[in-house]
Structure 1
């Protein structure tokens, strides 16, 4: 449904910053824009000839917004259009970008919790932001997206999956989950350990889970051995 530019945690540089995208014709939907993401977008020619850029932000940690300013400027000056950003916390994002010299004239910001995008190439996309548990210092969001008449849940950085999301997976309302997954398991961890993920998801539904934001302490072999997928 979506492709990934990187699937690593903040310190897992070999896998790159976790960021996903969906491009069709000259429209691009991007999920998060961490410190290394703009470089990868350029390197992979994903921005070539793009006319519409939509960016979903899950939270404001550097590995999720670190190169957002670069992408905004590139789109404005080189692609000749303003990016469209979706994030429920208006003041937080505006103040962060302003301190980087990226004022609101360079981008469009939508702060609604429920968003509908009607794009000629991408089609009709519905995004429903959900509060998730991650850290106490900043707000963090996951979301459910309807893309091509299929629903998926994207956790962003989170140490849990709500019962509501799991129940929707079980009855088929959500077809796929992209979940922050790590190897470290300790009290107060802002990310979901593979051990806890196994406790949340029954074996018969694990093929619908795609693990992302992987740290250095979990291997692909461990994830797959427990019935899950790699994003």
Structure 2
């Protein structure tokens, strides 16, 4: 899943970007508020993590602009301001949650997962589709109760698809979900990951919609 991180502190930004990438997220790290607003306008992100104090535009100002444009991207606000009025102001601007600095990656990741669950209308921490179950917190996938061994890219692809079963994703959309700006993408990368994922899941799970893209659906649904 592709995340926007806007943090102008070099040490913190690098640590968070590296940590989130190790957890399997594709991260675009930006240090400027105006650039962050432009990126959110041009790119579809699963979620955004915005520092309160950014050059040229603050986190709350960016969020307020997003909400005026009806952009519902989940936003986590990073702030050193732990006073009640500041927390209220950030949430009232349209932030979905906030983390007070110093930031601990485990807490940040847990809050990010919670935001993604709420955005998808999920109640439980595990995502289930027929006999397939994905647990984002543990990055665990089981099929008929048996664990599947997936690469980081295969897992990211599966999580993207299973969050919206039946939705068709084009190759470009999947590339955007799996890769950040600074990562080179081979022309057939998505097709290769789809091929390997199909091999591990078995027939019937991932459908090719000609001229459109790919979608996931439980094979059991075909029999209903």
Give the alignment's TM-score, normalised by structure 2: 0.31
Q: Which has the higher strand share?
A: 1
| Larger RCO (alpha carbons 8 Å, 6+ apart) | 2
Computing the radius of gyration from Cα coordinates, the structure with the larger value is 2
